[in-house]
């Protein structure tokens, strides 16, 4: 496999409503920043890999057609990726795979969502015939999984509140983050309205507009640059409602993590990974994924959160950027995780930088907790 | 029809949602200008004029920010005659969908030509807009085009 690295990450700011730009303008803003950060021109780009969550979110079917001009795809291969909420991660992996295979030397990859043009909960919960209409959206879908996690392991009820506070404190150190909640504390979270029991309003991700882009290149370009070398990457899938599936600790997530650790030669993720950006759209998913990803034993994830180990200054910082809980342009949210992991090992994460971060993980999940995409990036090639 | 087929269930599945569109700084100006009976294009570094205004040049990738006003008259580049409009069509008598290149533009725009016969249509035929009396900063601020005689 040909070594590949992220050589530049570009992100828009994340906001509830970017009414000042079109979808094309939003996507291009992230691309311009990624090209600038990579110090490459358009002619260096061999292909463009675009991802976003369901087209029904904005009502623009096949947006890669309308966006071909804005993403510089004219005369080049363009590939559209779609794996629900994990799409930002799987798009990065499709892009990197085309470099690792030798098919392309340098690819531009970009993901976006413009939630202000739409209503994701509506798009996720149409009134299907023969089914009761519960209008639950993602939070309503995941709440029972979270309830089951709590039933199995009996953690204190404030674990979710702690994650919600920790990620929003991190967001205050990331000027791009959507939610900037001064004075956030557990009381504020526990006083917020119950949305999908046991999830409260402030334990849930916002609806954001935003885009994230990366330039991924082989060693010809990456050797001479500050780069985040991709040491392992994988995707896994599960059925939506398969009998016997464990939604709390999905096998797909376990297998996907094992795969990237094997590729990267990691035997003890807790010790060997310096920090991770994992997909936590609802607070309790931090401890759930810490277990699923093998950072700790089953039933122990909430203890890492409880002891403050996942804080920016802790020994396993999680979601240093503020995470999905602070910014959620759905289609881009996975790529933001992957890109933020890259920024950490490149030493470019500014105020939310983890000191001496050399190895970082990017993680995303999507659908009914059924699509997983993950990668490990490192500050060194070898 | 077999018995098994007649037993299959069917139910209506209606899907509708009112999306919002943010047209951005370039297309917003184009639509604002339409409501004032003006046609705006954007110009790239080598002078090529895109009408309708484009945000990005598909060939050079440059972001297009320089506006130019072109004439509201133009020529037909291509057309498709609609002899028997259906209820969903915007014009209920025979008309043509056309690609119109405005005088001063290098690209063409999709719209409609009405009040003419199919035999009047040809590449290069001159057309002019019929403006709406109730402009809404939308493409239908031009109701349709007619032949410039």
Does residue A181 belong to any structural domain of this protein?
A: no
Residue A239 has a pLDDT of 92
In this complex, the residue of A18, A22, A74 whose CB is nearest that of residue B23 is A22
| Number of domains present in the structure of chain B | 1
A residues 83-122 near B, CB within 8 Å? Answer: 114, 116-119, 122
Cβ A74–B9 below 8 Å, yes or no?
A: no
| Number of domains present in the structure of chain A | 1
Does residue B7 belong to any structural domain of this protein?
A: no
Residue A262 has a pLDDT of 98
Spans of chain A below 70 pLDDT = none
Residue B2 has a pLDDT of 63
Domain holding A263, by residue range, is 4-119+206-376
Does residue A144 belong to any structural domain of this protein?
A: no
Instruction: Encode chain B (149 residues) as per-residue pLDDT tens digits.
Output: 566 666 788 888 888 899 989 999 999 999 999 999 999 999 999 999 999 999 999 999 999 999 999 999 999 999 999 999 999 999 999 999 999 999 999 999 999 999 999 999 999 999 999 999 999 999 999 999 999 98
In this complex, the residue of A22, A72, A128 whose CB is nearest that of residue B13 is A128
Residue A133 has a pLDDT of 82
Question: What ipTM describes this predicted complex?
Answer: 0.90
Residue A168 has a pLDDT of 98
**B84-120 in b/e burial notation, b at 16+ Cβ within 10 A?**
eeeeeeeeeeebbebbbbbeebebbbebbbbebeeee
Residue A131 has a pLDDT of 83
Domain holding B131, by residue range, is 24-147
Does residue A158 belong to any structural domain of this protein?
A: no
A371: domain CATH number is 3.40.47.10
Residue A240 has a pLDDT of 87
DSSP one-letter code for A57: G
Does residue B46 belong to any structural domain of this protein?
A: yes
Residue A276 has a pLDDT of 98
Residue A166 has a pLDDT of 98
Q: Are A325 and A205 in contact (CB under 8 A)?
A: yes
Does residue B14 belong to any structural domain of this protein?
A: no
CA end-to-end distance (rounded Å), chain A: 13
d(CA A344, CA B72): 54
Q: Which of B24, B28, B42, B59 to mutate to probe the A interface, most A CBs <10 Å?
A: B24
């Amino acid at each position: 496999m040909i070594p590949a690295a992220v050589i530049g990450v570009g992100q828009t700011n994340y906001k509830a409503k970017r009414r000042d730009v079109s979808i094309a303008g939003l996507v291009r803003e992230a691309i311009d920043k990624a090209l600038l950060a990579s110090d490459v021109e358009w002619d260096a780009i061999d292909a463009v890999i675009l991802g976003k969550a369901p087209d029904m979110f904005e009502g623009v079917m096949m947006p890669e057609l309308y966006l071909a001009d804005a993403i510089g795809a004219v005369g080049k291969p363009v590939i559209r990726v779609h794996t629900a909420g994990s799409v930002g991660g799987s798009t990065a992996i499709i892009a990197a795979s085309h470099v690792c295979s030798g098919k392309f030397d340098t690819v531009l990859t970009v993901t976006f969502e413009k939630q202000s043009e739409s209503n994701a909960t509506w798009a996720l919960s149409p009134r299907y015939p023969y089914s009761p209409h519960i209008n639950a959206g993602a939070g309503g879908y995941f709440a029972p999984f979270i309830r089951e996690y709590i039933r199995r392991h009996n953690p204190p009820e404030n674990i979710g509140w702690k994650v919600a506070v920790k990620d929003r404190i991190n967001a205050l150190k990331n000027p791009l983050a959507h939610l900037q909640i001064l004075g956030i504390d557990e009381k504020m979270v526990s006083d917020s309205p119950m949305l999908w029991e046991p999830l409260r309003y402030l334990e849930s991700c916002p609806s954001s507009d935003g885009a994230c882009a990366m330039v991924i290149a082989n060693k010809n370009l990456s050797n001479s640059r500050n780069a985040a070398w991709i040491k392992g990457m994988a995707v896994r899938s599960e059925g939506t409602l398969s009998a016997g599936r464990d939604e709390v600790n999905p096998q797909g997530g376990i297998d996907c993590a094992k795969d990237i650790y094997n590729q990267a030669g990691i035997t003890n993720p807790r010790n060997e990974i310096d920090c991770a950006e994992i997909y936590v759209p609802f607070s309790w998913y931090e401890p759930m994924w810490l277990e699923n990803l093998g950072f700790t034993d089953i039933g122990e994830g909430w203890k890492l959160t409880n002891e403050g180990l996942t804080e920016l200054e802790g020994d396993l910082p999680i979601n240093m950027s503020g995470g999905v809980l602070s910014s959620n342009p759905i289609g881009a949210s996975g790529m933001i995780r992957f890109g933020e992991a890259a920024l950490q090992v490149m030493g470019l994460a500014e105020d939310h930088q983890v000191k001496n971060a050399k190895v970082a993980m990017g993680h995303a999940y999507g659908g009914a907790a059924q699509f997983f995409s993950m990668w490990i990036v490192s500050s060194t090639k070898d | 029809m077999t018995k098994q087929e007649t037993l299959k269930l069917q139910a209506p599945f209606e899907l509708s949602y009112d999306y919002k569109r943010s047209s951005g700084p370039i297309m917003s100006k184009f639509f604002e200008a339409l409501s004032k009976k003006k046609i705006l294009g954007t110009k790239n570094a080598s002078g090529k004029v895109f009408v309708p205004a484009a945000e990005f040049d598909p060939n050079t990738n440059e972001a297009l920010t320089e506006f130019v006003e072109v004439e509201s008259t133009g020529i037909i580049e291509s057309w498709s005659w609609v002899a028997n409009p259906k209820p969903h069509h915007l014009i209920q008598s025979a008309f043509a969908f056309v690609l119109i290149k405005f005088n001063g533009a290098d690209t063409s725009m999709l719209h409609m030509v009405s009040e003419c016969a199919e035999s009047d249509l040809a590449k290069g035929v001159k057309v002019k807009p019929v403006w709406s009396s109730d402009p809404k900063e939308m493409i239908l601020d031009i109701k349709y085009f007619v032949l410039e005689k």
